[in-house]
Amino acid sequence: MSITRSAIRSSLCLRKLDPEISRSSLPFLQEWRKCLSTATEQPPPASPLPPPPGGSPGEGRFYGKFSGFSKHALKTDIMNVLEGCSLTSDDLKFNYPRGGNLTPAAVFVQFPSLSAYDKALRNIAKKGKLYRLEKAARAQWDPIVPYEGKVVALHGIPVNAITDDIDRFLSGCLYYPGSIQFLTVQGLGTSKRVALVRFTSQTQAMNAYITKNRNFLLNQRITLQVLQ
Amino acid sequence: MASHLFTRSRISLLKTLKPNPFTSASPIRAISGTPFLSQDPLLATESTDHDPSNHQSTSTPLPPNPATGSPLYQENWRSPIPNTPSFNQSLVPLGFLNQAPAPRIRALSETLDMNSLLNMFADWTASQRWSDMKQLFEVWVRSLDKNGKPNKPDVNLYNHYLRANLMMGASAGDMLDLVAPMEEFSVEPNTASYNLVLKAMYQARETEAAMKLLERMLLLGKDSLPDDESYDLVIGMHFGVGKNDEAMKVMDTALKSGYMLSTSVFTECVRSCVAKGRTDTLVSIIERCKAVDRNKSLCPSWILCNYIAEVAIQEDNSKLAFYAFEFMFKWITRGEMARPSVIFSVDEGLVVAGLASAARTCSSSLVEGSWTILKQSLRGRKAANPASYIAKINAYASLGNLQKAFTSLHELESAYADSEKEVVEEMLSPFTSLYPLVVACSKKGFETLDEVYFQLESLSQGDTPYKSVAALNCIILGCANTWDLDRAYQTFEAISASFGLTPNIDSYNALLYAFGKVKKTFEATNVFEHLVSIGVKPDSRTYSLLVDAHLINRDPKSALTVVDDMIKAGFEPSRETLKKLRRRCVREMDDENDDQVEALAKKFQIRMGSENRRNMLFNIDYSRGRALNN
């Protein structure tokens, strides 16, 4: 029940953000730019922020690096593995290495206390030791940009595809048309095109994943991946 | 003080007196003991030394002078003679032991018969005395038995000999050379003999020779037919050197003949098929393993099962995905039975992907398998994610199984009945999440829609009534999609009249959509005004649908008015809506309103792009080509 409630709360938190975004595009664009340019904005907030939280809440926090999960793992799956550690969706950040092929290398977890971290280690031992959990520093946690399950990556985009083709592929889904951006990721010796699309909510992103995955775009089958 | 001194002096006197007898006794004993020890070895070795020692021993008791005793004592201790015989005695047995094996082996070969030799070889196998086995066998076959005839080994005895050679590092060629002489002893090689040769080939990775030997075994037949071990060795050999095609062929033969595969060979085969993307081949192999009782227990590792599932879902091979989930189910069950228990769980993201694949491939078994393993993983302690339910509904909708689809919808509504209203509305919206269900309801037009409606009506009047606005919304939108306004309106009215429920915003949106499609713009506007008047809050889609209604009526001015109302209500017009509006303005050559649309696009920073692809079709000049041809 606690996990369900935390899941509901996390969805509530996500839900609260939506009206602000839908009412006007300016906050969304600003927030999006902030997410994309976190690296440059990190130094200025670092200096004023550390003193106040360092006193009381900073000491209780403990960070871990979780690995060994499969490609299809969701945040709820990892919260199920780390059961009883009082984690919410916001306490998990999937790390997608820049320049990689959008395969998550690890998940950085923010534990409320050291005892929660120890309990997580015991849970992993109980699960057959399929996973690994290591200590991590806060410096590793802060720079990661969370996608919150709202961004979908379209793998296998043809070379001659344009934004209109992506629009047609995603017809019927609720997404932000202006958020379509193309990347080039390095596969096995060859570079591939990937399109990132931001949806209005987690539900819409999963709906697109369920209905549009492995469909055709200009004679090519597209593989969708929901970034967590 | 004086008494103490006196007592101490007495004690000291006693101490000095007591040792005297011991000291006098010990030399006597020493003297008496030494002559006996020295006399025996002297007698045993040399007679020349005997006389002087005897002489000295006889002279010892005559003079009581201690001066003569001490030289004798020293002389006895310094004499090196007693040590030499013991040293010689210790060397002789070692030499004797070193010389023993050859004669001993010869003796054993002359006395042992075949059964005794078999037992001895069995013992030596346990202690790994390969060299002795080899030598004894080679001597034995050259010896004669009790009746004076040459010894003849049987195939079991010869196999021991082959194994000894194999363990001593014989190559495959050497092993084959050793098998050849079996004919001279009138012994036919059997399967075990050839398996030993195959092991040598396995170590040397000689795949071609192994294939030829396997064919030879098959040709000879009878006692030398290949068995489980033969096939395992050959298949494992081919996988080891990367000849996967050859390995598959041999495995095909083995499975046809009903042989049992080893876990390592099965795992290697699975890994190879998955890596090469041969999902159909893997399905075939798994199915044939299931058909044979002895191969039913084969199961890849947990990590490999996950990998199989991922590849199967990627390739849309529903059978392979089902088998992967089945293997995982075995792991989960086995883990729970173990002590201490190991808790395996399938990732829900993988199950969602599996359900989506089931929808694409219309595989009902994969739907059932996915959902079963998801429930097993959650262990009843947590509800599945909404995405899992939506994927399941989508799968059943694509299968055309509407009854199960609505049952799944019921499960979703029950699981998240306590959630936030807005979240539930988004999950249960017929325009997005449940749209596949809407399409399925409209598959045969009014026929399917009526059937579904009557089913829902009967369910609502049953013992455990099931009433769902979301289900009825699907029917209304289905009617709208098929331009069936009357049915849509009747279903909308039935929400409150027959089911006793309250329509939500999706109900009104669907009805508004139905009116708009058949150009009843005035009625659509009335629906909008009605829902606003009774306090239902319109959402972004409500305004978009109203804009569409006006555009269908070719009234861009009224549509723009609705867009303005939309903006006042705090919503942002979507790119699609603005593009539709611009298109209608262009068609109507309404430049004034077109400018307003452009202004709105700039205001909300929406890039509308061009209409090149649409204009290609719209501006086709049919007569131009003919003119050119003429």
- Find, in chain A, the residue whose alpha carbon is nearest to that of B335: A128
Q: Is the pLDDT of residue B126 over 50?
A: yes
Return the domain boundaries, chain A: 62-142, 151-227
C-alpha angle B422-B377-B316 in degrees, rounded to nearest 5: 80
> Cβ distance B373 to B329 under 8 Å?
yes
- Cβ atoms of residues A195 and A157 within 8 Å: yes
Structure tokens, B475:
């029917």
Q: How far apart are CA B273 and CA B312, in angstroms?
A: 11
B322, with CB counted inside 10 A (0-12, 13-18, 19+), is: buried
Residue showing tokens 């000849």: B243
User: Residue type at B329?
Assistant: F
Q: How many CB pairs under 8 A join A and B?
A: 133
Name the residue of chain B whose CA is nearest to A27's CA: B604
Determine whether the interchain pair A76/B348 forms a contact, defined as Cβ–Cβ distance below 8 Å: yes
Tell me the chain A residues in contact with residue B348 when contact means C-beta distances shorter than 8 Å.
74, 76-77, 80
Name the pLDDT band for B15 (thresholds 50, 70, 90). very low
To the nearest whole Å, the CA of A84 is away from the closest chain B CA by 12
pLDDT of residue B415 exceeding 70, the answer is: yes
Mean model confidence pLDDT for chain B: 76
Residues of A in contact with B602 (CB under 8 A): none
Out of B344, B390, B606, whose CB is closest to A207?
A: B390
SS3 B95: helix
Instruction: Say if the Cβ atoms of A11 and B314 lie within 8 Å.
Output: no
Chain B residues near residue A89 by CB distance under 8 angstroms: none
pLDDT bucket at B479, cuts 50 / 70 / 90: very high
A130 in contact with chain B, both atoms CB, cutoff 8 A: yes
Least CB-CB distance to A172: which of B316, B394, B435? Answer: B435
pLDDT 10s digits, B309-340: 988 887 888 888 998 998 888 888 878 888 67
Mean per-residue pLDDT, B155-174: 80
CA of A39 vs chain B CAs: smallest distance (Å): 26
- B-facing residues of A in 39-98 (CB < 8 A) are 69-74, 76-77, 80-81
What is the number of other CB atoms lying within 10 angstroms of the CB of residue B299? 19
Which class for B123: exposed (0-12), middle (13-18), buried (19 or more C-beta within 10 A)? exposed
Identity of the highest mean pLDDT range in A78-92, B188-202, B563-577:
B563-577
The one-letter code for the residue type at B393 is I
CB nearest A210 (choices: B383, B394, B574): B394
pLDDT at position B510 over 90: yes
| Close Cβ partners of B560 (under 8 Å, ≥ 6 residues apart) | B581, B593, B596, B597
State residue B499's pLDDT score: 87
CA A4/CA B383 separation, integer angstroms: 7
In 10 A of CB B295, how many CB atoms?
20
Residue B30 has pLDDT above 70, yes or no: no
Cβ count near B163 (within 10 Å): 21
Range in B30-44, B280-294, B413-427, B593-607 with the lowest mean pLDDT: B30-44
- The CA-based diameter of chain B, rounded to the nearest angstrom, is 163
Tell me if chain B has a CB within 8 Å of the CB of A5.
no
For residue B491, the model assigns a pLDDT of 92
The answer, yes or no, to whether residue B397 has pLDDT greater than 90, is yes
Average pLDDT estimate for B137-162 = 76
User: Which residues of chain A make contact with B605, given a CB cutoff of 8 A?
Assistant: 25, 29, 178
By Cβ distance, the residue of B306, B357, B570 closest to A23 is B570
In this model, does residue B296 exceed pLDDT 80?
Answer: no
For B411, residues 6+ apart whose C-beta sits below 8 A from its C-beta are B389
The pLDDT value given to residue B199: 79
Confidence of residue B44 (pLDDT cuts 50, 70, 90): very low
What pLDDT is attached to residue A15? 35
Residues of A in contact with B358 (CB under 8 A): none
What integer pLDDT is reported at residue B354 of this predicted model? 93
How close are the terminal C-alpha atoms of chain A, in Å?
Answer: 23
pLDDT of residue B628: 56
pLDDT at res. B476: 93
CATH number for the region A151-227 comes to 3.30.70.330
Contact B310 A76 (CB under 8 A): no
Q: Which of A8, A207, A209 should be substituted to probe chain B, the one whose Cβ sees the most B Cβ atoms within 10 Å?
A: A207
User: Once rounded to an integer, what is the mean pLDDT over residues B518-543?
Assistant: 88
Smallest CA-to-CA distance from B599 within B627, B564, B551 is with B564
- pLDDT tens for the 228 residues of chain A, in order: 444 444 444 444 343 333 333 333 334 343 343 344 334 333 443 434 344 444 444 447 678 888 888 878 888 888 888 878 778 888 888 888 756 767 788 888 888 888 888 878 878 887 776 787 887 887 888 888 788 788 999 888 888 888 888 887 988 888 888 888 888 876 767 777 889 898 988 888 988 999 888 888 888 888 888 888
Which among B348, B383, B606 has CB closest to A77?
B348
Q: Which of A29, A70, A201 sits opposite B310 (nearest CB)?
A: A70
Q: Using CB atoms, pick whichever of B345, B347, B420 lies closest to residue A12.
A: B420
Q: Over 60: is that where the pLDDT of B419 sits?
A: yes
Residues B530, B43: Cα–Cα separation, whole Å: 138
A47 to A38, A39, A52, A82, B485: CA distances (angstroms): 15, 15, 11, 33, 64
Greater model confidence, B67 or B568: B568
Annotated domain spans of chain B: 100-225
> Tokens 């025996």 sit at which residue?
B40
Domain A62-142: CATH architecture, name and number where available: 2-Layer Sandwich (3.30)
| pLDDT for the residue A97 | 79
Quickly list H helices, B180-227: 191-204, 207-220
Of the residues B416, B418, B419, B423, the best mutation for testing chain A's interface (the one with the most A CB atoms within 10 Å of its CB) is: B423
Q: Do A133 and A65 touch, CB atoms closer than 8 A?
A: yes
Q: Do A25 and B423 touch (CB under 8 A)?
A: no
Distance (Å, whole) CA B252 – CA B288: 9
Please report which helix (H) or strand (E) contains residue A184, including its range: strand A181-186
Rounded to whole angstroms, the Cα distance separating B115 from A160 reads 81
CA-based radius of gyration for chain B: 50
Distances (CA, A) of B610 to B227, B569, B613: 71, 29, 8
Contact B352 A177 (CB under 8 A): no
Is A25 in CB contact (< 8 Å) with chain B? yes
Which residues are within 8 A (CB) of B128 and not within 5 positions of it... i.e. 6 or more apart?
A: B167
Interface test with A, best of B302, B334, B347 (most A CBs within 10 A): B347
Half-sphere exposure of B339 (CA within 13 A, CB side): 0
Closest CA to A64 of A114, A7, A19: A114
Mean local confidence (pLDDT), B511-525: 90
Cβ atoms B212, B225 nearer than 8 A: no
Highest average pLDDT, of B86-100, B185-199, B550-564, comes from B550-564
Nearest to A73 among B347, B436, B575 (CB): B347
Q: How many CB atoms lie within 10 A of CB B494?
A: 17
CA gap B550, B521 in Å, rounded = 6
Could you tell me which residues are beta bridge partners of residue A95?
A106
Helix (H) or strand (E) holding A93, with range, is: strand A92-95
- Residue in A4, A72, A164 nearest the CB of B310: A72
Cβ–Cβ gap B382/A164 under 8 Å: no
Q: How many CB atoms lie within 10 A of CB B372?
A: 14
Q: How far is CA A157 from CA A47, A193, A226, B315, B356, in A?
A: 42, 5, 16, 17, 20
- Please give, rounded to a whole number of angstroms, the shortest distance from the CA of A200 to a CA of chain B: 11
Strands A132-136 and A92-95, by their bridges, are unpaired
Residue type present at position A224: L
Determine the distance from the C-alpha atom of residue B541 to the mean position of all C-alpha atoms in its chain, rounded to a whole number: 47
pLDDT in tens, B74-109: 444 444 444 444 444 444 444 444 434 667 676 776
- Residue A152 and residue A227 in contact, taking contact as beta carbons nearer than 8 Å: yes
Interface membership of A223 toward B (CB under 8 Å): yes
Beta bridge pairs of residue A109? A64, A92
A128 and B335: CB-CB below 8 Å? yes
Query: Does the distance separating the beta carbons of A209 and B356 come in below 8 Å?
Result: yes
Q: Cα B17 from chain centroid?
A: 90
What distance in Å separates residue B421's CA from the closest CA in chain A? Answer: 10
Cβ density class B55-67: b for 16+ within 10 Å, e for less: ebbeebeeeeeee
pLDDT band at B241 (very low <50, low <70, confident <90, very high): confident
Query: pLDDT tens-digit profile of A42-56?
Result: 344 343 434 444 444
Out of A25, A164, A172, name the one closest to residue B604 (CB). Answer: A25
- Give A-chain residues touching B310 at CB under 8 angstroms: 70-72
